[in-house]
Chains A and B, each alone.
Chain A
């Protein structure tokens, strides 16, 4: 039997519940909303920047690639005309694509291998190693144009340091930046000089490789060679993968080097340094054919996208992620 007191209490509780429930709900909702709002507000600088300065122009350039946009007066839809001209009417497009592919094909493997080799060497425990690490890292912090000017002197055919050094071994160095056969190798050599940036990444990951594995290998009597290929390399594959993906993308964007190191930025002797982006830049800002330049940019995007997807697909087969979800 319910006492009056009890029933009153129940009613009160019920009433409280009735009241309390919606209030609580409302509070939770508004709290979430408020958090959402302040979240957006906090990232708004990035959000506004991304939409206004990256996504917007990106979509704009996609549209522009189907027009004859010339920046100041024209913007008529021309369908795939620009793409058609690119593939069938512009010999320099193919020259520039070939030059860029050549550069990427050599510079990416060479700089990657160079960085790994350097990192392994600098991972030794010998006195003064920090000094060497600093010395080899230094080129990576020097800024572009100054370095290019420096290399133009180093690569000078008769008095440059590179050819002088070669002559000590009885090798007659090529004319580098003046000989169309040697211009691209010259740039690749120059790129090798600044592998210090990649080296730093590898060095960090080398130091993360567990010593236990080397000890186990020692007990099994593995040679240094085997240890390198069966322990060290597999353990740093995630960083190699990252390095290859980013330097591949960076390699396709090569521009400054050719712009600074060739006369009038016109692509060097016999167009041997006319890289994709240099050709694109000339089309956009010398000829004002922004529609065409945008089409070129999107084609480059497709190339890089496809290569990166392939990379990611194949990466699964050789990249080893220690611990966690292995497939």
Chain B
């Protein structure tokens, strides 16, 4: 009797523990979009995205529903995972042999994942040579590893210069003539500065706020050349980049590191974005920053322009990121998964996505079609963003030195803080990155 009860309790504890495990392991919240009875006899695909916001979720779920209704063989189930979790969960799922069928992943690290065998080579499923012609060539380049595609571009973004027209008028500047060159940018910025005593009430412009960091500015300075060429040639220590870095430092010197820090520390939530609050006159950000201006900066009079170029005859180089649809390694139904990816990156779905989110989509035709569905400011910003793709470079993570930027950033930080000479910093960065690529 006693033994039986001991056994019984032990088994109960064990069961409880197992149940506890399985309960907590069921991490992601699964939400089926559509009628579950419609799944019978179909291949069910698990689709992971991080689009759970009020604005994006309904859009992606409508696209999924449309796909589910459009054919009888495949049923796609959408699973939302928070941005901070999705890729580490994917990694764990791949190594456990139970990955999602399709996932939205970062566009700049496709090669890195391909090299590490985390994604499926799609060349087998892309029978049609014209398929790649649907997408902007620069985006398509990012998904190739050893000339085979490992993902399909979904959306992208590009940096633009937003400027406050009201502040322009106040400073005696023509609100319809945004700065075209670095010199103009600086001259305008000085005019837009507003000081009371030693304190800035408004800073006209500071290049490193918003989303155009030192690597982007140095690329802009060096005629669109990033730190690494396509063949992993290190091009950090160039005369143009040196000039660019000195120029960035000159902003710190003029405005004062303290003022820069003080302003920056107060950039908190979206509602208090300093550009929208009128504390900064010009601001570099992705095109979708416009939705923040629209939602939080009621009736703000703003304009949008391409990035200023280093000189009058240089191009207005900008840079971009974005996301791809990918089939993780070991997914069970790659053929069906690719069918879904084809739909996701097809004209209809992409046009819908673009017109709802003002997001640059990867599909060229859709990108242009969406324009006709927009009007007013929506159209102005979206058109500027689409045009800007011509001068937008991508910055793929090199598969051989995925963390090469960690070697450069601290040196650039040191220059900006006045702790290192620009010449020395670039020289050191050049040799450090060369070394790490040799390994």
**CB neighbors of B among A21-46 (8 A):** 34, 38, 41-42, 44-45
Contact B413 A71 (CB under 8 A): no
Tally chain A residues at the interface, Cβ within 8 Å.
39
A84 to chain B, nearest CB (A): 11
Q: In the complex, which of the residues A72, A152, A179, A286 contacts B403, with contact meaning CB atoms closer than 8 Å?
A: A286
A157 contact set on B, CB distance < 8 A: 258, 261-262, 265
A70 to B118, CA, bound (A): 10
Q: In the complex, which of the residues B13, B265, B268 contacts A158, with contact meaning CB atoms closer than 8 Å?
A: B265
A288 contact set on B, CB distance < 8 A: 91, 112, 116, 118, 402
**CB neighbors of A among B7-66 (8 A):** 7, 9-10, 13-14, 17
A64 to chain B, nearest CB (A): 12
A163 to B339, CA, bound (A): 58
A269 to B420, CA, bound (A): 13
Contact B17 A45 (CB under 8 A): yes
A206 to chain B, nearest CB (A): 39
Interface string of B259-276 (1 = CB under 8 A from A): 001101110100000000
Q: In the complex, which of the residues B6, B95, B329, B403 contacts A41, with contact meaning CB atoms closer than 8 Å?
A: B6
Q: Say yes or no for A180: interface residue by CB 8 A criterion.
A: yes
A42 to B10, CA, bound (A): 6
Contact B409 A266 (CB under 8 A): yes
Contact B406 A178 (CB under 8 A): no
Contact A72 B262 (CB under 8 A): no
Contact B402 A285 (CB under 8 A): no
Contact B265 A178 (CB under 8 A): yes
Q: Say yes or no for A140: interface residue by CB 8 A criterion.
A: no
**Max chain A Cβ within 10 angstroms of own Cβ: one of B14, B91, B410:** B410
B417 contact set on A, CB distance < 8 A: 179-180, 269-270
B402 contact set on A, CB distance < 8 A: 286-288
A311 to B137, CA, bound (A): 62
A267 to B439, CA, bound (A): 24
B10 contact set on A, CB distance < 8 A: 38, 41-42, 44
**CB neighbors of A among B381-439 (8 A):** 402-403, 406-407, 409-410, 413-414, 417, 419, 432, 435, 439
Q: Say yes or no for B71: interface residue by CB 8 A criterion.
A: no
Contact A156 B265 (CB under 8 A): yes
B15 to chain A, nearest CB (A): 10
Q: Say yes or no for A123: interface residue by CB 8 A criterion.
A: no
Q: In the complex, which of the residues B6, B413, B432, B435 contacts A180, with contact meaning CB atoms closer than 8 Å?
A: B413
Q: Say yes or no for B88: interface residue by CB 8 A criterion.
A: yes
A283 to B401, CA, bound (A): 11
| B5 (CB) vs chain A CBs: closest residue | A38
Contact A72 B266 (CB under 8 A): no
B257 to chain A, nearest CB (A): 8
Q: In the complex, which of the residues A72, A159, A271, A285 contacts B118, with contact meaning CB atoms closer than 8 Å?
A: A72
Q: Say yes or no for A92: interface residue by CB 8 A criterion.
A: yes
Q: Say yes or no for A73: interface residue by CB 8 A criterion.
A: yes
Is chain B's interface secondary structure helix, strand, loop, or mixed overall? helix
Q: Say yes or no for B3: interface residue by CB 8 A criterion.
A: yes
| A286 (CB) vs chain B CBs: closest residue | B403
B419 contact set on A, CB distance < 8 A: 180, 270
Interface string of A154-171 (1 = CB under 8 A from B): 001111100000000000
Contact A72 B258 (CB under 8 A): no
A287 to B398, CA, bound (A): 11
A1 to B94, CA, bound (A): 89
Q: In the complex, which of the residues A45, A156, A179, A271 contacts B266, with contact meaning CB atoms closer than 8 Å?
A: A156
Q: Say yes or no for B292: interface residue by CB 8 A criterion.
A: no
Contact B91 A71 (CB under 8 A): yes
Contact A285 B409 (CB under 8 A): no
A153 contact set on B, CB distance < 8 A: 268
Known pairs A45-B17, A89-B439; A178 contacts B116 (CB<8 A): no
Contact B95 A71 (CB under 8 A): yes
Q: Say yes or no for A175: interface residue by CB 8 A criterion.
A: yes
Known pairs A156-B265, A159-B266, A180-B413; A285 contacts B88 (CB<8 A): yes
B107 to chain A, nearest CB (A): 16
Contact A72 B94 (CB under 8 A): yes
Q: Say yes or no for A282: interface residue by CB 8 A criterion.
A: yes
A73 contact set on B, CB distance < 8 A: 116-118, 329
A41 to B6, CA, bound (A): 8
A287 to B419, CA, bound (A): 29
Contact B406 A266 (CB under 8 A): yes
B268 contact set on A, CB distance < 8 A: 153
A71 to B402, CA, bound (A): 16
B114 to chain A, nearest CB (A): 10
Contact A72 B117 (CB under 8 A): yes
Contact A178 B261 (CB under 8 A): yes
A74 to B115, CA, bound (A): 10
**CB neighbors of B among A5-57 (8 A):** 34, 38, 41-42, 44-45, 48-49
Contact A270 B14 (CB under 8 A): no
Interface string of B239-268 (1 = CB under 8 A from A): 000000000000000000110011011101
B17 contact set on A, CB distance < 8 A: 45, 48-49
Contact A282 B95 (CB under 8 A): no
A158 to B403, CA, bound (A): 34
A194 to chain B, nearest CB (A): 22
A42 contact set on B, CB distance < 8 A: 6, 9-10, 13
Known pairs A71-B116, A157-B262; A282 contacts B403 (CB<8 A): yes
Known pairs A38-B6, A72-B95, A72-B329; A92 contacts B406 (CB<8 A): yes
A44 to B11, CA, bound (A): 10
B329 contact set on A, CB distance < 8 A: 72-73
Contact B413 A270 (CB under 8 A): yes
| A interface residues, Cβ below 8 angstroms from B | 34, 38, 41-42, 44-45, 48-49, 70-74, 89, 91-92, 152-153, 156-160, 175, 177-180, 266-267, 269-271, 282-283, 285-288
Which 6 A-B pairs have CB atoms at the shortest separation, nearest pair first? A73-B117, A41-B10, A158-B262, A156-B265, A178-B261, A38-B6
| 9 cross-chain CB contacts under 8 A | A41-B6, A45-B17, A70-B117, A71-B116, A71-B118, A156-B262, A157-B265, A270-B417, A288-B112
